[in-house]
């Protein structure tokens, strides 16, 4: 098996071109809501992937709506899903997943990309995950030069709304994942190279609390205060924290009221739940719904619930565990120590697992402080991680190691 690593030679001097490409990509703002920016970036990325001989198909985003501050559901603007494929008739298929969007909107102060003397690249999306898409691109380029490429098919999925939960892209992703055998997602690894193992699942909930408006001086008693009603709702839900291990409920955003002399008739509350098992999520979901149905929020106060469990738990077991073991072996062959740790974060790896696809979801660059203006990636990890991904692909394609079992997702 040691011989497979000889096919990694084309990566030896790839650092400058990978740095340049990531710098170019990260210099284009692609905040999830900045569709024009995402399209501009997608144009470059599509050129790079099709240059490898991949077929390209652009899928429009699914319709996604969100509540605005007036409690009205509005369409959310969103970029599309790009699907690239090689050898569509191959029996064994690998899915490589990345996202084009970042958490930084077009008017965010963090826009500049900067290479620093300590060997890091700072910039929006450098680690999460334009650097990762670059690793994916070079891994495919290198893999395609090997004699094993003909053995397997490759699908690449690049979506544009991962940072807001992949609502517009998960159906396309799940569709492709169902027909595949193993997956790699190129989210960043920790600075020391540690991968994310098991992942918590999550759910998002929005509540519209409606009361009745009135002048606070002249007719206070005719009013029904939606903020006070929301406060009762929040207190009840927050009271669930601590009742069950590994299960958390976070009230994240509240909007309501217009002036201090007006009884507010509307409040919007937004929250997130996390759990380490699907039973944890189901428990939290059930209790939230019970509170909405049976809670006492005051006379004439109505609570409307939107949302639910969104990203299922990703367990470190079965085929996913087998695939991690394969990546660890690949690391051993090229002197990289690969470890993993459970995380409370979620990503598209959760959705792929829910579709039965064993996957390792932190195959991207090493980096830190993602989602902040301190985000950086370690430049030497470009080649290092491309070697790891390529070798893992070679091991699967060569038949030297068994493919992981698909996950049992029948409930
Ligand atoms: Zn990401």
Cα 90 from Cα 95, distance rounded (Å): 13
Q: What's the mean pLDDT when you consider all of the chain?
A: 96
Q: Which of 211, 253, 247 has the alpha carbon at shortest distance from 234?
A: 253
Alpha carbon of 129 to ligand 1 centroid (Å): 5
- CATH, range 2-200+313-398: 3.40.630.10
Q: Is the peptide bond before 205 cis (omega within 30 degrees of 0)?
A: no
Question: Residue 48 has what pLDDT?
Answer: 98
CA atoms within 13 A on the CB side of 400: 15
Cα 117 from Cα 96, distance rounded (Å): 32
Alpha carbon of 188 to ligand 1 centroid (Å): 7
Domain with CATH 3.40.630.10 in the chain: 2-200+313-398
Domain with residues 201-311, CATH architecture: 2-Layer Sandwich (3.30)
Per-residue pLDDT reduced to its tens digit, 362-378? 999 999 999 999 999 99
Domain with CATH 3.30.70.360 in the chain: 201-311
Neighbours of 62 (CB within 10 A): 16
Alpha carbon of 128 to ligand 1 centroid (Å): 4
Alpha carbon of 263 to ligand 1 centroid (Å): 42
- 94 bridge partner residues: 154, 182
Question: Residue 411 has what pLDDT?
Answer: 55
Question: Residue 375 has what pLDDT?
Answer: 98
What single DSSP character describes residue 3? G
Alpha carbon of 105 to ligand 1 centroid (Å): 15
**Residue 2 scores a pLDDT above 60:** no
Q: Which of 348, 332, 322 has the alpha carbon at shortest distance from 100?
A: 348
The alpha carbon dihedral of 293, 295, 299, 305 has a sign of negative
Per-residue pLDDT reduced to its tens digit, 254-280? 999 999 999 999 999 999 999 999 999
**Three-state SS at 356:** coil
Per-residue pLDDT reduced to its tens digit, 159-187? 999 999 999 999 999 999 999 999 999 99
Alpha carbon of 18 to ligand 1 centroid (Å): 18
The alpha carbon dihedral of 43, 44, 45, 48 has a sign of positive
Least confident of 107-116, 119-128, 143-152, 310-319: 310-319
Alpha carbon of 294 to ligand 1 centroid (Å): 38
CA–CA distances in Å: residue 358 to residues 123, 154, 226, 385: 31, 15, 46, 19
CA–CA distances in Å: residue 14 to residues 107, 187, 374, 381: 33, 20, 25, 11
Cα 249 from Cα 363, distance rounded (Å): 29
């Amino acid at each position: 098996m040691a011989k497979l690593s000889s096919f990694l030679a084309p990566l030896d001097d790839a650092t400058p071109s990978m740095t340049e490409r990531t710098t170019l990509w990260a210099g284009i703002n692609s905040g999830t809501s900045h569709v024009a920016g995402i399209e501009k970036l997608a144009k470059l990325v599509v050129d790079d992937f099709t240059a490898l001989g991949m077929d390209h198909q652009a899928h429009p985003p699914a319709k996604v709506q969100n509540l605005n501050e007036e409690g009205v559901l509005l369409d959310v603007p969103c970029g599309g899903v790009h699907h690239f494929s090689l050898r569509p008739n191959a029996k064994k298929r690998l899915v490589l997943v990345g996202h084009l969007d970042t958490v930084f909107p077009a008017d965010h102060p963090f826009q500049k990309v900067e290479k620093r003397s300590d060997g890091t690249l700072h910039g929006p999306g450098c680690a999460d995950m334009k650097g990762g898409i670059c690793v994916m691109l070079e891994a495919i380029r290198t893999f395609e030069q090997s004699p094993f490429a003909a053995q397997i098919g490759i699908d690449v999925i690049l979506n544009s709304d991962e940072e807001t939960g992949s609502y517009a892209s998960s159906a396309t992703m799940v569709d492709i994942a169902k027909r595949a055998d193993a997956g790699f997602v190129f989210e960043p690894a920790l600075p020391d190279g540690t991968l994310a193992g098991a992942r918590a699942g999550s759910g998002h909930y929005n509540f519209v609390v409606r009361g009745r408006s009135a002048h606070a001086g002249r007719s206070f008693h005719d009013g029904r205060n939606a903020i006070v009603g929301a406060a009762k709702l929040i207190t009840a839900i927050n009271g669930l924290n601590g009742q069950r291990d590994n299960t958390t409920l976070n009230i994240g955003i509240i909007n309501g009221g217009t002036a201090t002399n007006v009884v507010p008739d509307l409040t919007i509350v937004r929250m997130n739940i996390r759990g380490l098992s699907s039973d944890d999520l189901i428990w939290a979901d059930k209790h939230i719904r019970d509170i909405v149905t049976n809670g006492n929020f005051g006379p004439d106060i109505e609570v409307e619930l939107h949302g639910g469990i969104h990203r299922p738990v990703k367990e470190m077991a079965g085929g996913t565990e087998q695939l991690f073991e394969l990546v660890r072996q690949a690391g051993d062959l090229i002197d990289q120590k690969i470890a993993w740790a459970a995380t409370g974060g979620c990503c598209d790896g959760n959705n792929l697992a829910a579709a039965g696809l064993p996957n390792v979801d932190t195959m991207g660059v090493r980096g830190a402080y993602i989602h902040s203006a301190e985000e950086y990636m370690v430049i030497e990890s470009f080649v290092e991680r491309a070697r790891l991904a390529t070798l893992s692909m070679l091991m699967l394609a060569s038949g030297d190691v068994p493919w992981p079992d698909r996950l049992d997702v029948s409930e």
